[in-house]
Amino acid sequence: MVMNNRQHSEIATDAERKSAAPATKKHIIREYAESIIIAVILALIIRTFVVQAFKIPSASMEDTMLIGDHLLVNKFVYGLKIPFTDKRVLKIRDPNRGDVIVFEYPEDPSKDFIKRVVGMPGDVVQVINKKVYVNGMLYQNPHEVHKEPDTIPEAQNPRDYTKPVKVPENSYFVMGDNRDRSYDSRFWGFVKNDKIRGLAFIKYWSWDREKNSVRWSRIGRWIE
């Protein structure tokens, strides 16, 4: 059997197509796999060093933040924490009084807490009849609220009365804005600098679970 040049060319072209198809498919799969891997790595880097999302589960920061508010935390403003160490690098600034911070809960590091910085390193903090004094001066934050009129004696618990305490070096005294319903430094002590995850700065989503509706007015609001 004799094939002419045209028949030979067509057979060769078909063979090339068949051999090329699997290679092209493998190339596409490889591209997708590489893209996914790169995206995962970037997401991990961003989550570890840049910003991280958190959800508010309790009422301790009302009315600044409500249950169901979702917020972003700036993780580099206080410096990038070197993994498996207590050191930070490329720090922009230290936490300031009034900052709303997210940190590892001292009594259970697997949990994250969110509170407002009240006492700085070296400050002497005391609560008297629900009022906070820093270095002997009354400290009032415009976001603090009191939702329970009763006063609890110091002998019972330190919610409304505490002894004066000096904030240690590299540590902070923190409190919830909802002063009567916050479990904070009055009860368990100070937050160490190396346990701070970052500065809460914006609410990007808010869901009212009681009404099953979105709180549109809270989305995109800066945290002060």
Please name every residue paired with 138 in a beta bridge, in sequence order, or none if there are none: 133
Catalytic residue among 115, 195, 203, 206: 115
CB atoms within 10 A of CB 108: 9
Q: Give CA–CA dist 183/193, Å, rounded.
A: 19
Active site residue 58: no
Catalytic residue among 18, 25, 35, 60: 60
Active site residue 60: yes
User: Which DSSP string corresponds to 38-76?
Assistant: HHHHHHHHIIIIIEEEEE--SSTTTTTS-TTEEEEEESS
- Which residues are identified as catalytic? 60, 115
